[in-house]
Structure 1
């Protein structure tokens, strides 16, 4: 039906199993990680900030000057530009999600959106996370906190779960 399309996809998918293959996108990512990690080690705390954005790209010469480093990995981008401090600030939301997810009972809705958010940790090895992803992380934070608030709510119609002092307080309120 489409001549050559099978070969095209076979070639693209072969890179998954051989990321070091010459001229592959996987090889470029490996080279980028090695090159920028050495630069990160020169300024590990706060990174290269705007100086890094303005420096010449050490791997390729076809990107315009002063246009950034064009990263293909969120982790390396953060470590290079903002150092360890920026890395932990940016990804602290995801660390918090992991902590909350393992420390409480979650609703089905929250588990679904949490799965999407945590998959970003894997996705970050190959791509820089888009802005919309962080919107989903915010939504997930909302659902986790909402679930927690729901656990602490008291059902005023169910007297069995109330403590004696809570029952007295409710009676006083309802008589006034």
Structure 2
């Protein structure tokens, strides 16, 4: 899938150069084009091939998917986030229930049936139902949000748990700042529901093996002590190694030479060549230096800033997209962004600059002004100065 997107997407970037984006995105677009041409010229000069490694070029291009998604969204108005939520549930049902994968899960990291990049999408339905709850005050929406959050925790991807928790804090913060029309966080009702669910779920928890439950909570607790657990310490060791390399070439990274060196820690998919680094930020710095990192983060930061600053109030679609885009930044500390993440960044651009803003709730409640008044017992139009 990544290869197909790169094959068709990279040439499309040159076509997009004819299209007028908001200024900050034009900066990124031209940077991507210059960087891609530079990688091709480097390949010709050093290796006498047009593309010595498509692996290196396509990973540099990935953030350009956001620009393509924005262009498509402007030309063909996208469907609402509610539809995206149902599509996510449909794909999860097919992947986990219909194919029976979830039934092999035993609450251990070794038996997980969902990749972290796939679990990250659960931020979207969670924030959707959470916003619905604090604006429409329906108990069923709270239950749906809790169910999605609980499912995410049970998947045992700590980076995703941290990301979805951060997204929840963002929604609460927006509500406190008055960015969500008619929102009210019903703390007593929410806490009461959570405590009731814990009480009802206690028999189920006690029915599970105590050893397995203890191991589960120890794994989740690794969020606070990432360097003390096996996978966390492995990533920490990997990051320290690459930071030394990054310091040697901080501006444009290692590019093809980094690809030549291959993975310093054995990986079945790239046993000979192709460096696979867990952290999105370390990966960009190592392969493309500050140049590549700045291009990617500029698209994200500009989109979040535009969503926040250009709208007095945020629609539910804007809130969900903001929470997902920002929440994934936490995920990027431990993992690389999934390719579809950039599509949602492009949708965020669309909702920041093109989509209709949320209506002002105060303007909507103001009574209409009556510009007529009676004179000698008859209605009088003050604009035409004639009796009606």
Q: Which residue of 1 aligns with 2:223?
A: 16
- Are residues 1:73 and 2:286 paired? no
- Aligned residue for 1:31, secondary structure, equals helix
Aligned to 2:339: 131
Contact 1:44 1:83 in 2 (8 A): yes
Does the 8 A contact of 2:310 with 2:352 survive in 1? Answer: no
- 1:117 match: secondary structure: helix
Partner of 2:130: none
Q: Is 1:142 aligned with 2:350? A: yes
- Give the Å deviation of 1:62: 5.2
* 1:96-137 deviations in Å (ceiling 9; x for gaps): 113213422153121221111111111111110000111111
After TM superposition, the structure 1 = structure 2 runs for residues 37-116 of structure 1, keeping only pairs within 5 Å, are 37-58=243-264, 60-61=265-266, 63=268, 64-66=271-273, 68-105=274-311, 106-108=313-315, 109-116=317-324
1:147 deviates by 3.9
SS of match in other structure, 1:72 = coil
TM-score normalized by structure 1? Answer: 0.74
Deviates more, 1:124-133 or 1:111-120: 111-120
Q: Distance in 2 between matches of 1:20 and 1:149?
A: 44
* Inter-partner Cα distance in structure 2 for 1:93 and 1:29: 26
Question: Structure 1, unaligned stretches of length 5 or more?
Answer: 152-176
What is the CA distance between 1:10 and its match in structure 2? 2.5
User: Which of 95, 116, 121 does residue 329 from structure 2 map onto?
Assistant: 121
Please give the alpha-carbon distance, in whole angstroms, between the structure 1 residues aligned to 2:262 and 2:342. 29
Deviations 1:46-86 (A, max 9, x none): 1011211221433x2454111x2221110000000011111
State the number of aligned residues: 149
Distance 1:18 1:111 in 2: 30
Q: Is the 8 A contact 1:107 1:147 kept in 2?
A: no
Query: For residues 38 and 51 of structure 1, what CA distance do their matches in structure 2 show?
Result: 15
Q: Deviations over 1:131-169 (max 9, x none)?
A: 011111111111111147999xxxxxxxxxxxxxxxxxx
SS of residue paired to 1:17: coil
Greater length-normalized contact order (CA 8 Å, ≥ 6 residues apart): 2
CA distance in 2, matches of 1:86, 1:127: 17
> Does the residue aligned with 2:354 lie in a helix, a strand or coil?
helix
